[in-house]
Amino acid sequence: MEILSQLIVSGISLGMIYAVIAFGYQLTFATSRTLNFGQGEALMLGALVGLTLVGHMSYWLMIPIVLIFGALQGIVVERIGVRPALKIKSEFGWIMTTISLAIIFKNVAENIWGRDDLKFPSPLPTAPLNFLGVRVLPMEILVVVGAIAIMLAVEFFNRKSIYGKAVVATSNDRDAAGLMGINTGMVITFSYALSSMTAAFAGVLIAPLTLTGATMGVVLGLKAFAVAIIGGLNSGMGVIAGGLLLGIAETTTGYYISTGYKDVPGLLLLLLVLAVKPAGLFGKSEIKKV
């Protein structure tokens, strides 16, 4: 029983990371109907840039710099990978270009930081705290707090500021938003910047808990996509539920079955949800008008 609670707790912090990455997928999908296949790589670059910076400054000072870096990386992806493909109205196009950018980022990261996994120093004490018999690492708590904080911040922006409302308007109806004087192209660029920024932030949150390396983004990105699908690509709350579901499923599988199969539940979940309800467990089915 104790082990199970332990697994659940670790599953929660893992799940929140999935939720944040999935949240990033939603941001770009809402405004542009596109996804960044390199979302995992955005996380990886954030973690590695953060690692390099942390050697020269404190963790807390490093965070805003990584956020800016993430935003810039997102803008690059949008300008090179997405905007030209949207102009030629090619869905196949942006899928292939975001994939190729992901490959490029990963390869460049391998050449700069090497192929081995590195250790990210933890900003908080590594001694576990004891909550009702369950051991929780302070860093795990930071992950949950940080993830919720950034998602709330974006939601707040969307609801309260006129610019945020402009973003929501663009997601509802791009053409009509243009009629309001909203530069929808810039909105899309902005949503990509925000998406990569949240991924980079997730990267520096999770880095102290796992190994940091050029390959850390690949499987994370894929599993976070599963979470985004489960949550429904248009819904906000669903990703948290989906993330927790997956995180806990993984930690329990890894322990009770085998670590080699640890990645399988997420992938199977993805296949299952897409087979049964492609709009996601929380999403709404779209009716196409002819």
Residue type, 28: T
116 scored as a contact of another protein (CB under 8 A): no
Whole-number minimum distance, CB 231 to another protein, in Å? Answer: 14
Stretch that binds another protein, among 63-71, 95-103, 148-156, 193-201 (CB under 8 A): 95-103
C-alpha 136/C-alpha 123 separation (Å) is 15
Q: Is 152 in the site for another protein (CB under 8 A)?
A: no
- Contacts with 69 (C-beta within 8 Å, 6 or more apart), sequence order: 45, 46, 49, 200
Question: Under the criterion CB under 8 A, does residue 286 sit at the interface with another protein?
Answer: no
Site membership for another protein, residue 172 (CB under 8 A): yes
Q: How far is the CB of 270 from another protein (least distance, A)?
A: 5
Q: Which is nearer to another protein, 138 or 178 (CB)?
A: 178
* The total number of residues written for the chain in this structure: 290
Query: Is 111 an interacting residue with respect to another protein (CB under 8 A)?
Result: yes
Site track 189-228 with another protein (rule: CB under 8 A), x = hit: -----------------------------xx--x--xx--
Query: Measured from the CB atom, is 145 or 180 closer to another protein?
Result: 180
Near another protein in 18-37, by CB under 8 A: 34-35, 37
Cα 105 to Cα 1, 44, 45, 77: the distances in Å are 43, 9, 8, 10
The candidate with the shortest Cα–Cα distance to 124, out of 105, 102, 145, 140, is: 140
Buried/exposed 166-187: b ≥16 CB within 10 Å, e otherwise: bbebbbeebeebeeeebebbeb
Name the one range near another protein by CB under 8 A: 124-132, 142-150, 189-197, 259-267.
259-267
Which residues is 162 bridged to in the sheet? none
Comparison of 81 and 146: residue with beta carbon closer to another protein: 81
Which residue's CB is nearer to another protein, number 60 or number 92? Answer: 92
Counting contacts by CB under 8 A, is residue 48 touching another protein? Answer: no
Task: Please tell me whether residue 169 binds another protein under the rule CB under 8 A.
Answer: yes
Q: Is 278 in the site for another protein (CB under 8 A)?
A: yes
Q: Which two tokens stand for residue 45?
A: 């670059």
Tokens of 256: 């009770």
Q: Give me 236's structure tokens.
A: 């906000």
- Measured between alpha carbons, how far is residue 29 from residues 156, 210, 281 in Å? 19, 28, 17
* Dihedral sign for Cα atoms in the order 171, 172, 177, 179: positive
177 or 204: whose CB is closer to another protein? 177
Rounded distance, CA 149 to CA 152, Å? 5
Chain contacts with another protein (rule: CB under 8 A): 34-35, 37, 80-81, 84-85, 88, 90-93, 95-97, 99-104, 106-108, 110-111, 162-163, 165-166, 168-169, 171-173, 175-184, 218-219, 222, 225-226, 229, 258, 260-261, 263-264, 267-268, 270-271, 274-275, 278, 287, 290
